[in-house]
Structure formats: structure tokens, C-alpha cells
Chain A
Amino acid sequence: MKTSSIIILVAIAAGIGALLMYSVDFSTYDTIGSAKQKQGQYVHLIAKLDKSKPIQYDALKDPNYLSFYAVDSLGNSTQVIYRNTKPAELEQSERVVLKGKMQGDIFECNDILLKCPSKYKDDKKQLEKTVTQH
């Protein structure tokens, strides 16, 4: 284990390091306001379902079209279009993470992560709510 091997190792390490730098174009967490500034860039929005506006989904017409409105903690709102089925827990969700791009005034979403109270057994408040339902 001397010169030649060390040179090869360093070269490989450098190569992989370079690949790592080059390959990963991290996205960012944004608010609706800042996402609107970054038109066409892939971002993660943390928002809530706007329950005052309609959710449009009709699996019979087109199972791959869902439209709803999201509102973030700063009060900004946007229409969201998700070309997939409606996640069943959407209406119950407390928070949504939307991954996609802002196109004009519409957020083109290609992945939704829902934070639902029903999933959490370790949340005491939620447990208290469930226990009283029995």
C-alpha cells in the first residue's frame, strides 16, 4: 500500500466526489411567495389545503387530474395541479409537502406528502382525541 495505490485511491475518491457535486442538484423548501419568484424551478412547498376552495377530482372523467388550492403560513395561496389520483386523506391532512414547479399562477405538482393526524400514535393530543371516540 504505497504510492501507486494511493494515487489510484485518491483519483477514485476525487472522481466520486466530483460526481457527487455534479450530480445532486438539491431542491429547496419554499413558501408560495418565493416559489412564484422561482418560476419553473423544482421546489418543495410546505402548505395547507385551502378548505374554502373546491377540490376538483373525478376519477370517472380522468383519474389523473386533481386540482385544489393550497395556502401557506404567510397566507399566500395557489392552485395546485397534480396529475395522479387524489390521496384519500387529503381532506384530513393537517399539512402537505408539495413537490413540483410553479408555472404561472399554477403549481404543477408531481408528488404530495401528507401529514395526517391519524398516522401518529405517538402524538398525545391525537391519542386523547381517539380515546374519547370509543
Chain B
Amino acid sequence: MTFENEHLLPGQVGHFFVLLAFVASIISTIAYFKSFKSQLENEKQSWLRFARGAFFIQAFSLLAVFACIYYICSQHYFEYLYAYKHASKELEPKYLLACIWEGQEGSFLLWALWHCALGIVLIFTAKKREAPVMMVVNTAQIFLILMLLGLYFFNVRIGSSPFVLTRNELNLSSAPMFIDSKTNLLRTDYLRFLTDGIGLNILLRNYWMVIHPPVLFLGFASTVVPIAFAFSSLVTKDWGGWVKAALPWTLFSGCVLGTGIMMGGKWAYESLSFGGYWAWDPVENASLVPWLILVAGLHCMAIFNATKNALRASYLFIILAYLFVLYSTFLTRTGILGDTSVHSFTEAGMAMNVLIGIYVLAISAPVLFLFFRNYKSIPSLQKEEDISSREFWMFIGSLILFLSALFVISITSLPVYNKIFGTHLADPQDREFAYNKVLVLVAIIIGLLTGASQFLKYKSTDNKYLIKKLSWPLGISVAATVLILFLYPIEYTKKGPGFLVAIYLAFFASLFSVVANAAYLKSVLKWKLKAGGAAIAHLGFALMIGGMLISSGNKKVMSDNSKTGLFIPFDKDPTGRATENPMENLTLLKEVPTRMGDYTVTYMNDSAASEKTRTFYNIHFKRVDSATGKVKEEFTLSPDSYKMKDNNLTSNPGTKHYLTHDIFTYISTISVSNTESDTTTYRPHEMAIGDSVFYSNGYYVLNGILKNPSNERFNFSPTDTALVADITVYAQNGTQYKAYPALTIRNQELNLINDTVTTQNLYLNFSGLADGGKKFKVNSKETDKLTDFITLKAYYFPYINLVWLGLVIMSCGFIVSLISRVKAAKPAAYVSIGLVLIALFYMFLLANN
């Protein structure tokens, strides 16, 4: 049976390339294995060439698959389920990429594409380790492509193809309009009725959705390289050599994954109404944990490079980092998190879950097994490290990072225990505090370690030197902390004095680390930044932690009703108990100024956006000096929300950015439009220019009729046909309001644009001419329905920019280290650092501000 207007070719081409890529990845793995096993140099080389060829074919095929999906989505071929689910006609073209990686299949494809890019770099740089390293990369590829296969083996569908057809997947015949009444089958022209797709989830329509997933997936994908190097050394029994080769890759991975995670935080802060950048959500934790372990591994590798210590720990951490990357994939994609995460996904299906489960263990478990089997043979120094040596404290730091990762993942894995043991455990009452109270201690230790250890030397350090170098940074940071204590105290008292002290200690430790690392760059390195990657990264990290402490510690809810005194808490609680919950939402009536903290806020009006369901709410903020009456600060924020068919409201915040703080608002409720249910009708009036009409609370005057005006309400061009009544409303209390009801003719259709004076509940409507053009029909109605309102939440985030600045500095530190490790040529080094710095600085600190 053929159907009209279907475009089956791109899907067939795409599916062919998925199969080709799958076969090529298997062939490439086998060829690399053969090359690795060959004893003869000739044979080795020929297998190697063959394997490379297969890998290039695979990379090309995956690009072709991506191109096919892109084509299908961009052409709105809704006969494909993928396009139907993720694309829609109103979606702006800039989100086309985003809708590709919104889906499970598209994001696996993205991951696989990054493996290809990394693999190509490895082919040119891995030298004698190429064969075993690429065996691992290819094995990972086999699994990722398997997820896109969608082939049946023994009645079980393996993977899910992005090229399946809507009519095959969905039971369209359940809807009468798709049925041919003669044959009772799907009508051949069914596509005529399948005119639009669901489109990208509204929550995800943000430029971060375009940039965050590729960066995060590059971070995930790149963790395969260090474990591949570890594998290569385990199979060749060349115990230590891999570390030097894998170190730049580990730096790269740490940089990209860390940046990717914080991009997610910045996104959450900027556009999602969670009220912050980090909420210890399982999905966030799942990507943080591998990063922590990877960084622990990175430090152990650096120790080994300098002293030959910590080789076993390097192996272990690198293997576990990869294991946890895949475990996090397992958590977020199998639907197991279900009730615990706001990012909740649904079940991907049993077969898919099993496949993901196998993938989690497919590479990491064998490598871990090899590691333990060879554990005894892996050399370790028998000599005890000196307590004043750098490596000793670096190792302690790595261990702390590793333990905190275990702590985080053990709480995050709660749904997994419930599944296995059939228990019903749930998150603690205050989830964020459960994490924060342990990790604030980690921050203290890490701050002190990253500050002091720069001045420690490998093997052992002279005490006098250490005291001399550290006394200044210590003194400065103690003084600064004391100053903060008096000038800008952290007011996070709701968890008791103990936690507050811990916050101060952590803040001091971060400050110390910032100062000490800066001092190290100055006094030891004499600003030779090339060698200062670690110091720069540590400085950035400490700045970020310090920024988090102060911005979260002093974050304030501005819309707190109990402080504005606007609402008397009546009808609060039938039992008469005091409430422990803050009243964080504030209702603003349209055009009624309301006090909020130091500000007077007014909900001015709404403005429509290009997407039909989206509305911006313009909220005016004004701060007046109470003594002089002068306006000190004035701005308008426009948070927006999408209102869906089923009343589903999705809000994006509006934020006023200052250098030192942000004022952050989002809409939590909007009034349901009451014009539809309004039963009052317009009272007709025929008015000549200059006439006045009374209403219950005053009168209004028709000043004139304007043709195609361009004023504060309308902007008509001379080619339009529009008449606007210019009306002034005089209320009893002496206030005057302007109103401009209008009528327009477009495509021979008459359109009435009514105007309202909301504070007077007065609706005005201009419906035409009367009395041969001498009079005008200006009709009015009054309603006792309440005016429009919005309910919003507003936060004050101080010094949030320190968090982003810290992250940018940390990432640059990673890059500096990376470049000095690979001994890049100078111009290339400067260009790449410059580009990374500019891009990150722009994205985190300038864009959207």
C-alpha cells in the first residue's frame, strides 16, 4: 500500500547509514584487535590501515545519519515519528539542532559523533597505543549505534531507530479522520491530517539547549579516552607509560565536563523557574559525580608523573569515572529516577533499559577486572611519603573528592535501592541541606588544600619556606573574612549557628585558596602563566565555591508576603497553628503599585511574542530614597510564560543583572482571562467629538478620531485602514486615563480592538460610524469582575557573577595545563586560550545580561 506525499527516501538512506556505521564499528574493532595481536610489523600495519578505513567509514556514516535526521526535521516530514515528536512548524530554525538532541536517539547519536571526532584525533596522535585505545573507543561506538539500530532479534527490538514512521508506531486508525471509510484502513492521504508536530518542549526553548547538550556530551564522550589508555597499558603490561599520554585527555575531559555541568546550572538559573543554579537534583548529581572522580584521577596522574606514586589510584579513579558516566546515563535514561527528579523521564522500554545496563558494564567491568588481576604487578613505591610533600596532600585531596562523589551518588541512588530491595525510602525532608551540610565541610578541606599545596614541593618542603610563603595569604584571607563578617554578613541562620560557622569557614578557605593561588602566580611563577594552569584552575574553582557560598547564603526572597505586610494572613490555617512555610509568592494587580522589599513594583501590561502561546509580563520596579524622595533605581523586567491548551503554565524568569547582584523574578500564576465568562454586555453610545458619557465612577470624553495613528498604543502605517477613538476617562477621584479603542479593516474584514481601563473596570469599544459619519459608536461596559493579576516570585541573588567568573577562570586553567602538556606551538596556544576565554566569558557573563 502506498501513501500520498510521503518522503521515504531520507529515512531509508538514514537507516542504511546506521547499519553501515554499526557494521563498520564492529569491523574496525576486530581489525584493531587483529593489528594488536599481530606479531609481524607488516601485518600489524595492514590491519591498522584497514581498521582506520573502517573507522572513517563509520564516522562518515554517522554524519550522514545526522544529516538525514536534520533534513527530516527541518522539512517537517511528520510521517517520521522523530519529526512529529520533536519538530513543529512554529519552531524557530535556531532550535532545529536542539530538537534533534531532545530525543533519546538524537542524543545518543550526538555522543557517538563526538566519539568519532575524538577517535580521529586519537588515530593521529596515539602512536603505538592506537590499536588498543581505538578498540575501546570502537566498542563504545558499537553500543551507542546499537541503541539507534531498531532491528528485531527474536521478536525483541534492539535499540530504537530515529527513522521509524508515525503510521507504523502509532495506532492512527483509532482516530476516525485517518480512516478511509470504504476500506476501513488508514487513508492513503492521511498526511493531509497530520499537519504539525508536537515540537520542542517549551522548557527547552532556550539558547542553552542548543549549546549545553553538545558540550556535556563531549564531556561524557571524552571520558572514554583516559580509560582506553588505561586499558592499553593493562593489556601491554606497560604499567606507567599511559599516564603521560592520557593526562592531556583527562585535562580536556575535566574542562569540558565541568563547563558542561555549569552550563546546565547557568541554564537552570537563567531560564527555568527552579530559583537557582543547583538543586542537587539526581540528574545534576549524576553528571557531577563522574567529574569529581575524574578530577581525583587527574590529580593522582599528576602525582605519578612527578613522583611515581599513586599509579594504582590513577587506574582506579579513571576506570570509575567512566563507570559513573555510564551509570549516570543509566539513571537519567531508564526512568528509574521517576518520582525523585524534576527532569523525570519515562521508561525507555525494557529492552532499551537492559541495553543501557549492559553498556554501563561492557567496558568498565572488564577493565576493572584487568586492573584487579594485575593489581600486584602494578608498581607502587614502598617508601612512605613525607608529610610535608605536595604529593601526600594532593592524594588526600583526591581522596576527599572521591569520597564526596561516593557520598553524593549513594544518596542519589535511592530509587535504585528501592527497586532492588523493594524498600520505600524517599528523599530527606530538606534534600539540599542533606548534601550541603556534608559538602560544606568538603569545601573547607578542599579550599585549604588547594591554597596551601601550591607552595608545597614534591618529596618534601622546608617548613620555613612554607610559613614565609603562606603567612601573607593566610593573613589577608583572615582579615577579609573578618571584614565580611562585619560589612556584609552571611545571614543564613535557618539551619542553626553550627552550619553558619561552617559556611564562614568554607568561605574563609575559598578566599584563602584564591589569595594563595594568586600569590603563587605572582611570587613563585612571576606571572609566567604558561606553567600556572593548576594555580589558575584552583583559583577559579575556589572563586566559584566562594561565590556559591555567598550567593546562596545571602539569597533573599523579595516577594515574601510576611515582610511586605501586604496580605494579612487570614484564612491561613484552620487548626490555628503557626506556619513554618514562608509565603514566597506575591500577587500583583494590573496597574496597582505594590510594595516588595525596597521596591515598588507594578504589573504594567502584557506583550505578545512570536510564538502564539507565549506572553511577556512587563513589571516595573522602582526604588525611591525614603529621605529625599528621589528615584534611585528604576527598571522593567519582562518574565514570560507559555500558556498551553490545558492550562499548563511554563515560566521563564526575567532578571535584572547588576555587577554585584541579580534581581530575579518569575511568574507562578496568572489570572484566567475573564472576558469569556463575562456576561455583562456593552451599552451602546453614539458620540460626536467632544461628547461625554457618564459611567458609575466618572465620565469619559471622545476627544477625536485618529486615522492610522502612531502613538503609545498603536503603530499603524499609512497603508493600513484603521480608525482609533481618542478617549480620556475622568474618574471621580480626579485621575485621568487615556483609552484608544480601535477598528481596523484587514482583508475586507472588520476587526475591533477594545481597550480597557483596568483600575476602573471599564471596557471601551469602538464599533463604527453613525448618523452619516457625524457620530461614532463608542460603547462601554463595566464589570465587577476582578482585574488581571499575576503572582510572582522574586529573588535577590548577590555576587552570582563570582560563580560564573570562577568557572570561566577554572576552565581556562584546565586549557593552560592542557596546552603546556601537549607542548603546542605558541600561536596555536594563544589562539585557543583566547577563543575559549572569549566564548566562555561571553556565554556566562555577557549573553542575556
Q: A residues bordering B, Cβ < 8 Å?
A: 1-5, 8-9, 12-13, 16, 19-20, 23-30, 42-44, 46, 59-65, 81, 83-86, 88-89, 91-92, 97, 99, 103-104, 106, 110, 113, 115-116, 118-124, 127-128, 130-132, 134
B339 & A132 in contact (Cβ 8 Å cutoff): no
Minimal Cβ-Cβ distance residue in A for B442: A16
Give the contacts of B141-190 with A (CB-CB under 8 A).
166, 169-172, 174-175, 177-178
The interface residues of chain A lying within 8 Å CB-to-CB of B385 are 1-2, 5
User: B841 → chain A, closest Cβ, in Å?
Assistant: 35
User: B753 → chain A, closest Cβ, in Å?
Assistant: 27
The answer for the CA separation of A23 and B671 in the assembled complex, in Å, is: 42
B482, CB-defined interface residue at 8 Å:
no
The answer for the CA separation of A24 and B786 in the assembled complex, in Å, is: 47
Give the contacts of B382-412 with A (CB-CB under 8 A).
382-385, 387, 392, 395-396, 399-400, 403-404, 407, 410-411
User: B647 → chain A, closest Cβ, in Å?
Assistant: 5
A59 & B789 in contact (Cβ 8 Å cutoff): yes
**Which of A9, A81, A89, A127 contacts B399, CB < 8 Å?**
A9
B198, CB-defined interface residue at 8 Å:
yes
The interface residues of chain A lying within 8 Å CB-to-CB of B22 are none
The answer for the CA separation of A17 and B646 in the assembled complex, in Å, is: 47
B193, CB-defined interface residue at 8 Å:
yes
**Which of B403, B434, B646 contacts A16, CB < 8 Å?**
B403
B101, CB-defined interface residue at 8 Å:
no
B339 & A3 in contact (Cβ 8 Å cutoff): no
The interface residues of chain A lying within 8 Å CB-to-CB of B348 are 122
The interface residues of chain B lying within 8 Å CB-to-CB of A91 are 647
The answer for the CA separation of A120 and B404 in the assembled complex, in Å, is: 34
Say whether, besides A16-B407, A27-B426, A127-B170, A9 and B396 are in contact (CB < 8 Å): yes
B222, CB-defined interface residue at 8 Å:
no
The answer for the CA separation of A16 and B407 in the assembled complex, in Å, is: 8
Give the contacts of B656-712 with A (CB-CB under 8 A).
668-669, 671
Say whether, besides A28-B426, A29-B426, A134 and B669 are in contact (CB < 8 Å): no
**Which of A28, A106, A110 contacts B581, CB < 8 Å?**
A110
The answer for the CA separation of A84 and B580 in the assembled complex, in Å, is: 12
The interface residues of chain B lying within 8 Å CB-to-CB of A99 are 426-427, 429
B561, CB-defined interface residue at 8 Å:
yes
User: A88 → chain B, closest Cβ, in Å?
Assistant: 4
The answer for the CA separation of A16 and B171 in the assembled complex, in Å, is: 54
Q: Could you list some 18 contacts between A and B, CB below 8 A?
A: A4-B387, A9-B396, A12-B399, A12-B400, A24-B428, A46-B339, A59-B585, A59-B671, A61-B571, A62-B570, A63-B583, A63-B669, A63-B791, A64-B585, A99-B427, A122-B345, A127-B170, A132-B175
B786 & A60 in contact (Cβ 8 Å cutoff): yes
B97, CB-defined interface residue at 8 Å:
no
B54, CB-defined interface residue at 8 Å:
no
The answer for the CA separation of A134 and B584 in the assembled complex, in Å, is: 39
By Cβ-Cβ distance, the 5 closest A-B pairs, closest first, are A132-B175, A88-B649, A64-B583, A2-B384, A83-B581
The interface residues of chain A lying within 8 Å CB-to-CB of B585 are 59, 63-64, 84-85
User: B173 → chain A, closest Cβ, in Å?
Assistant: 10
Give the contacts of B327-342 with A (CB-CB under 8 A).
339, 342
B573 & A118 in contact (Cβ 8 Å cutoff): no
The answer for the CA separation of A72 and B424 in the assembled complex, in Å, is: 16
User: A100 → chain B, closest Cβ, in Å?
Assistant: 9
Say whether, besides A1-B381, A131-B172, A132-B175, A62 and B571 are in contact (CB < 8 Å): yes
The answer for the CA separation of A117 and B820 in the assembled complex, in Å, is: 52
The interface residues of chain B lying within 8 Å CB-to-CB of A134 are 193-196
A20 & B648 in contact (Cβ 8 Å cutoff): no
B586, CB-defined interface residue at 8 Å:
yes
Give 9 A-B pairs besides A20-B407, A89-B646 with Cβ atoms closer than 8 angstroms. Answer: A5-B392, A16-B438, A25-B429, A29-B426, A62-B569, A64-B567, A113-B342, A113-B344, A118-B646
B374, CB-defined interface residue at 8 Å:
no
The answer for the CA separation of A29 and B789 in the assembled complex, in Å, is: 37
B230, CB-defined interface residue at 8 Å:
no
The interface residues of chain A lying within 8 Å CB-to-CB of B170 are 124, 127-128, 131
The answer for the CA separation of A33 and B561 in the assembled complex, in Å, is: 34
The answer for the CA separation of A92 and B648 in the assembled complex, in Å, is: 8
B396 & A12 in contact (Cβ 8 Å cutoff): yes
User: A46 → chain B, closest Cβ, in Å?
Assistant: 7
The interface residues of chain A lying within 8 Å CB-to-CB of B403 are 12-13, 16
A20 & B575 in contact (Cβ 8 Å cutoff): no
A122 & B671 in contact (Cβ 8 Å cutoff): no
B380 & A1 in contact (Cβ 8 Å cutoff): yes
The answer for the CA separation of A110 and B648 in the assembled complex, in Å, is: 20
The answer for the CA separation of A85 and B346 in the assembled complex, in Å, is: 26
B84 & A131 in contact (Cβ 8 Å cutoff): yes
The answer for the CA separation of A60 and B671 in the assembled complex, in Å, is: 9
The interface residues of chain B lying within 8 Å CB-to-CB of A2 are 382-385
B587, CB-defined interface residue at 8 Å:
yes
The answer for the CA separation of A38 and B589 in the assembled complex, in Å, is: 41
**Which of B171, B196, B575 contacts A104, CB < 8 Å?**
B575
The answer for the CA separation of A120 and B411 in the assembled complex, in Å, is: 26
Give the contacts of B90-112 with A (CB-CB under 8 A).
103-104
The answer for the CA separation of A107 and B382 in the assembled complex, in Å, is: 61
Minimal Cβ-Cβ distance residue in B for A43: B426
Minimal Cβ-Cβ distance residue in B for A8: B396
